[in-house]
Amino acid sequence: MNIKVDEYISKKEKWSKELNLLRAVFADLPVDETIKWGSPVYVFNGKNIVGLSAFKNYFGLWFFQGALLKDKYKVFINAQEGKTKAMLQWRFNSFDEINTVQIKEYVLEAIENVKLGNEIKPTRSLKPVLIPEELQQELNTNKELKISFEKFSLSKQREYAAYISEAKRASTKLNRLEKIIPMIISGAGLHDKYKNC
């Protein structure tokens, strides 16, 4: 067991007895206990399975891929409706509501899903890159620059576009543009020199 989880539970005085009971469910399961985002998390084969948390009015379990579970006992809620697709929460308001047999069933099903490779991946919204006028004009007239720029990932294109856009003065924008043209043509990202330090 992880000492940091002991510390987390000891700080949640109102729910410490309940959290210890929930934690006991994981004691004989093939999961690793760790702390992520400031709360206990149980991991199987490198995948987050369940998080444990306590708040002012309730405590609960967060199933990272809860949407894949059958929810046989109809216990899940989506605490962030519209934001999360995979993660579901099982809330408790008292010690008596905890059914360790049911919880273990859900955790074992979640582990089985990891073994099978079942996973809901987050969808990223691909916002278009907003290219500043100065850079666009240069891309329109410099074919080599345009070809090199289009080879970049969207995130690298955004870095260059933002670098120009963030400058307030026209002269600064042009100075920055002159600086980045050879970098783009050589295939270097704007911040590449800092990434391997």
Q: What's the pLDDT tens digit per position in 1-20?
A: 788 998 999 899 899 999 99
Res. 84: pLDDT tops 90? no
Q: What's the pLDDT tens digit per position in 168-189?
A: 999 999 999 999 999 999 988 8
Q: What's the pLDDT tens digit per position in 87-106?
A: 999 999 999 999 999 999 99
The number of beta carbons lying within 10 Å of the beta carbon of residue 186 is 8
Instruction: Compute the C-alpha angle 46/66/124, nearest 5°.
Output: 75
The DSSP code for 153 is: -
Name the residue among 195, 93, 177 with its Cα closest to residue 135: 177
Domains and CATH numbers, the chain: 3-116 (3.90.1150), 133-190 (no CATH)
In this predicted model, which residue has the larger pLDDT, 109 or 85? 109
25/103 Cα distance (integer angstroms): 7
Q: pLDDT band for position 155 (50/70/90)? A: confident
50/64 Cα distance (integer angstroms): 6
